Amino acid sequence: MKRADCREQKIPAIPQNIPPKVMECLCRNGGMEGLFDLIMSPEMILKNSELFKALSDPFRIKILSLLSIQPLCVCIIREFLQISDTRLSYHLKKLSTLDLISGSPQGNWIIYTITDRGSLALSLCMDPITRN
C-alpha cells in the first residue's frame, strides 16, 4: 500500500451529493480552492507529524515529564528510566532536535531542561481534568 504524500496535492473537485450544510460552509470558505489555501502548509504538517512521532514514545514523554519538574543531568534521567546510555542518548537527541528540551554544559555534566515548546507538547499528553 502506497503512503499518501502531503507535500504535493492538487486541488480536488467538489464531490456530488454532499450535505447542504457542508456545501454552504464550503462556499463561504471559497470552495475547494479556498479550503486548500486555508489548511496548514505541507511543511507545517510534516513538522507536526515529527512532533507527534516524538510524543508517541513512552520514554520521551517520561523525559519531558521529569524535566517539567526540574532540570536534570543524564545520570538521574538514566537511573529513573533504567535504560542504557545509548538508548537515552537517542531519545535526548530526538527531543533536542525538535526543540522540546535543551542541554547546557556545566562542568563535566550536561544539564537538560524542558523548553517552552516541550512544555506545550507535554500539556497535550496530560489529562485535561487532573493535568497529570
Within a domain: residue 47? no
Q: Is 82 left (phi over 0), alpha (psi -120 to 50) or beta?
A: left
Total domain count, the chain? 1
Residue 85 grid cell = 546510555
What's the pLDDT score for residue 98? 95
pLDDT digits (tens, 9 = 90+) for 58-104: 999 999 999 999 999 999 999 999 999 999 999 999 999 999 999 99
Please state the pTM of the whole predicted model.
Answer: 0.76
What does the pLDDT read at residue 15?
85
- Whether residue 17 lies inside any domain: the answer is no
- Domain of residue 95, residue span: 55-125
- Residue 28 falls within a domain, yes or no? no
Closest listed residue to residue 60, CA positions, set 7, 3, 125, 1: 125
pLDDT at 63: 97
Q: Which pLDDT belongs to residue 6? A: 56
Over residues 19-37, the pLDDT tens digits come to: 999 989 988 999 888 888 8
CATH number at residue 84: 1.10.10.10
pLDDT for res 1: 39
Per-residue confidence band for 8, with pLDDT thresholds at 50, 70 and 90: low
pLDDT: is 127 or 104 the higher one? 104
